[in-house]
Structure 1
């Protein structure tokens, strides 16, 4: 997800039973301050499947959020957004970036921008053999061409793998047919 999609995510947009997140609003910074709006394109308004580990992490986060809201005496603060400040207000995107930078530094990792997480996700999926159309849909790109343009550097190794898989399938089919004839 993009940063604005994460910061605009509401609990009502998550179905923990089905394991899906629906991107229905984003948080943007304007001259007047922070505000919510619909994603710009139809492709950006999407649902993505989440793994069991993400579902569990979200359940734990939800429980912590509810407990903190009760301790602060602001139970209404935990009703809407998934990610909020301690006061229950939307997180300023710059504050998220600063916090991410501090975590990266604390862990001794090289400096990376927050958006690199999205690129890493896409790259790992493509390298893992996920069909580019599925990756494109998960990212909310306008079309598969956008995904392929951005991630073409991942494709050379995949081309070699595809050739090897084709050869293997051809051998299996050829040898299988020869065995059937004898």
Structure 2
């Protein structure tokens, strides 16, 4: 079932280019709605063992106007208000694990369901593909290599762009397999469908 939490997760990875561990490691205090940015922090205390790859904290601007409203909707209307943890994304439902921070396995299962709804079934398509999609969008939009490297939290420019290679996060070759347009379609299909109001049949006059 599509939820506000799932929509917020997809939008955050799409717009911010976050690694799965980074989006799962976000805490409420890391989000600045007024400045339209988040702070990605290196943490080692996630209850589900989630880790951030980069050891350095960084700030990521979110200026496209989709991720932060989606997160705000989730926090205000769906996230349990009595949750004791400060982590943003929690296990939903009514089970025993409700209120616990979402794990990487939970994120993978959610993304697989979203891919299924989009009619996409590729073994390589994982939540991390949204990060590659983001990097490619930023690069093709004119963002400079060093700026993109800082935004993604890379230690080397070689990790950011790699012409015609599978190793670069942003591909300079539009035919590269690491240009996952399919990942964007998964996110677009899922979030756009979620944001559409339900169809209500018109009443006929009697």
TM-score normalized with structure 1 length: 0.69
Question: How far apart, in 2, do the equivalents of 1:132 and 1:114 lie?
Answer: 23
Higher strand share goes to which structure? 1
Task: Check the 8 A contact 2:39/2:59 in 1, yes or no.
Answer: yes
Structure that is richer in helix per residue: 1
* CA distance 1:27–1:5, change in 2 (3 Å): farther
Per-residue CA deviation, residues 72-128 of structure 1 (Å, 9 max, x unaligned), is: xxx134x51111102110112112101210111122124321111100100111111
Look up the match of 1:138: 151
Q: Distance in 2 between matches of 1:89 and 1:137?
A: 31
> What is the rounded CA distance, in whole Å, between the counterparts of 2:51 and 2:127 in structure 1?
21
Contact persistence 1:48–1:138 (CA under 8 A): yes
The answer to whether the aligner puts 1:93 opposite 2:104 as a matched pair is yes
In the TM superposition, what are the counterparts of 1:56-95 in structure 2 within 5 Å? 56-66=69-79, 69-70=80-81, 75-77=82-84, 80-86=86-92, 87-95=98-106
Larger of the two Rg values belongs to structure: 1
Structure-2 residue corresponding to 1:154? 172
User: How many residues align structurally?
Assistant: 145
The answer as to whether partners of 1:126 and 1:135 remain within 8 angstroms in 2 is yes
- 2:41 is equivalent to residue 20 of structure 1: no
Cα drift, residue 145 of structure 1: 3.1
Instruction: Answer yes or no: is 1:48 the counterpart of 2:60.
Output: yes
* 10-19 or 148-157: bigger deviation: 148-157
- Shift of the 152–139 alpha-carbon distance from structure 1 to 2, 3 Å rule, reads closer
For the residues of structure 2 that align with 1:148 and 1:37, how far apart are their CA atoms? Answer: 24
* Cα distance between partner residues in 2 of 1:37 and 1:120: 22
Contact 1:4–1:27, Cα closer than 8 Å, also in 2 = no
1:104 aligns with 2:115: yes
What residue ranges of structure 1 are gaps of 5+ in the alignment?
A: 158-182
1:143 deviation in Å?
Answer: 2.6
Deviations 1:140-172 (A, max 9, x none): 000323213315741689xxxxxxxxxxxxxxx
Q: Is the 8 A contact 2:145 2:160 kept in 1?
A: yes
User: CA-to-partner distance for each residue in 1:40-60, whole Å, 9 max, x for gaps?
Assistant: 422xx2110002222211211
